[in-house]
Amino acid sequence: MFDIRFISDEPEIDDEGRVTLLGEVTLGDESERFLASLSIWTRENYEQQWRDAAQRLLDGHDRTAFFTSAFGMWWQMWHDGGDVRVQEQLLLSERFALLPQPLDLERTPYELIEEYQRTTEDGEAISEWRLTFRDIERFVRGW
């Protein structure tokens, strides 16, 4: 199963004073909550990006990503046969500096997704989840 959504309608102030909204991502049997910053994007921006990201896989792209904090944290996905491999990643601002400006939000985030890797440069395993392609199809139909 795959799902990503907001579970609260009321914004919260986090420990750093940022306005956020509580969300939850479900990957198989596991769920993780997140606080999405509302300083750059609105709730609607996030939800549109999630729909677009899922649709990319259905349209035949081999990779996509779902922001949980605009341009800060995301869940990357790679289509691998009938499977979809998922890894969470912190995005450092230096990566955006290398891209052409102004940023094209339709294309730019996906240009940052690197080739799939199971291990870090130091040979350590990267935490990952495995979904099925049908999980992504069901997520899109559920919108």
- Give the model confidence (pLDDT) of 20-59 as tens digits: 999 999 999 999 999 999 998 999 999 999 999 999 999 9
Q: What is the pLDDT of residues 56-76, one digit of tens each?
A: 999 999 999 999 998 889 999
Instruction: Spell out the SS3 assignment of the chain.
Output: CEEEEECCCCCEECCCCCEEEEEEEEECCEEEEEEEECCCCCHHHHHHHHHHHHHHHHCCCCEEEEEEECCCEEEEEEEECCEEEEEEEECCHHHHHCCCCCCCCCCHHHHCCCCCCCECCCCCECCCEEEEHHHHHHHHHHC
Q: Does residue 105 surpass a pLDDT of 70?
A: no
What mean pLDDT comes out for the span 8-21?
94
The pTM of the full predicted model, rounded to 2 decimals, is: 0.90
